[in-house]
Structure 1
Amino acid sequence: MSIEVGSVLDGVVSGITNFGAFIELPEGKTGLVHISEVADEYVKDVHDFLAEKDKVKVKVVAIDEKGKIGLSIKQLQEKKAEESTEAPARERSSFRAPRNNFGGRDFRKPNRATSASFEDKLSKFLKDSDERLTDLRRKTDSKRGGRGSRRD
């Protein structure tokens, strides 16, 4: 099977860096899954989603003139989510959900009950800004001799 843009391949994670994961593909070639293409959510550390020697399905998204192969796991995950609503899942991927080190509570989603609305935040900002400008004017006016006092 030749490696072409758009093809779906099986691969093995051969290395993980802070910017992505290298995947060993058939025919002895290696491609890179950039950190932005690992999952459909924010990925701070690739190790939370992949480990070396994991078997993964990847989609070829780019091949540049130097022969570098750009891969994506995220694009396949979106398709699998669509397929799972249509038909039962036939095959499970080795994709792992991120580990939660916060005692089960998810800190990525804001609590709607305690978060203020945009209008509340805006009015608080305007009030604070007005108070700071008033304080600044008082301090600078006193250094200049007050308002309306001109020297001849």
Structure 2
Amino acid sequence: MSIEIGSKVQGKVTGITNFGAFVELPGGTTGLVHISEVADSYVKDVNDYLTVGDQVEVKVISEKDGKTALSIKKAIDKPEGQSNSYSQRSPRQGRDDRNAKKFRSKGNFKPKETFEDKMAQFLKSSEENLYNLKRNTETKRGGRGGRRG
């Protein structure tokens, strides 16, 4: 028995893996519910949502080379006007160019340090670190003469 793409059917969970769950469909065929198709929210572990032997309603997404792709989240009927959580967000608002120009014209935008300032500060701290390193290693060797042997 061939199952039509887009149809909703009842199935039994026969196995769970880290990437999804295998569901046995009527007629003896088995399909895979990928982890991304288990629930609308983020699914870290399929075992949190399904167990072996559960009866679930699934929607057939595709069938290719004898492999059937299923979805639990698409099988759930949602009220009209309600969609997944991603599309409920308001669209991202872009920056208003007029405000950006106003911000710059007031003189509020200044780089904290120039490249030359940063380079001078780095060289100064580097020289201090080398001086301290030399001083500490000379005292451990026994003075200016180094080791005598």
- What TM-score results when the alignment is normalised by the length of structure 1? 0.55
SS in 2 for 1:16: strand
Q: 1:55/1:139 Cα in 2 relative to 1: closer, same or farther (>3 Å)?
A: same
Q: Distance in 2 between matches of 1:69 and 1:11?
A: 13
Q: 1:21/1:136 Cα in 2 relative to 1: closer, same or farther (>3 Å)?
A: farther
Provide structure 2 residue ranges, at least 5 long, that are not aligned to the other structure: 83-111, 128-149
**1:24 is matched with which residue?**
24
**Can you list the C-alpha shifts for 1:74-105, whole angstroms capped at 9, x where unaligned?**
0122x2x317x9xxxxxxxxxxxxxxxxxxxx
Which amino acid letter does the alignment assign opposite residue 142 of structure 1? K
Superposed displacement of residue 140, structure 1 = 2.3
**1:46 is matched with which residue?**
46
**1:142 is matched with which residue?**
124
**1:82 is matched with which residue?**
79
Q: 1:32/1:142 Cα in 2 relative to 1: closer, same or farther (>3 Å)?
A: same
Q: Distance in 2 between matches of 1:135 and 1:48?
A: 55
Which amino acid letter does the alignment assign opposite residue 71 of structure 1? L
| Structure 1 runs, 4 residues or longer, greater than 3 Å off | 133-139
**Can you list the C-alpha shifts for 1:46-97, whole angstroms capped at 9, x where unaligned?**
0111000000010000111x110000000122x2x317x9xxxxxxxxxxxx
Q: Distance in 1 between matches of 2:14 and 2:57?
A: 14
**Matched residues, percent identical?**
54
Superposition pairs of residues 108-147 of structure 1, within 5 angstroms: 137-142=119-124
Which amino acid letter does the alignment assign opposite residue 123 of structure 2? D
Q: Distance in 2 between matches of 1:69 and 1:139?
A: 63
Q: Distance in 1 between matches of 2:117 and 2:43?
A: 43
- What TM-score results when the alignment is normalised by the length of structure 2? 0.56
Superposed displacement of residue 141, structure 1 = 2.7
SS in 2 for 1:76: coil
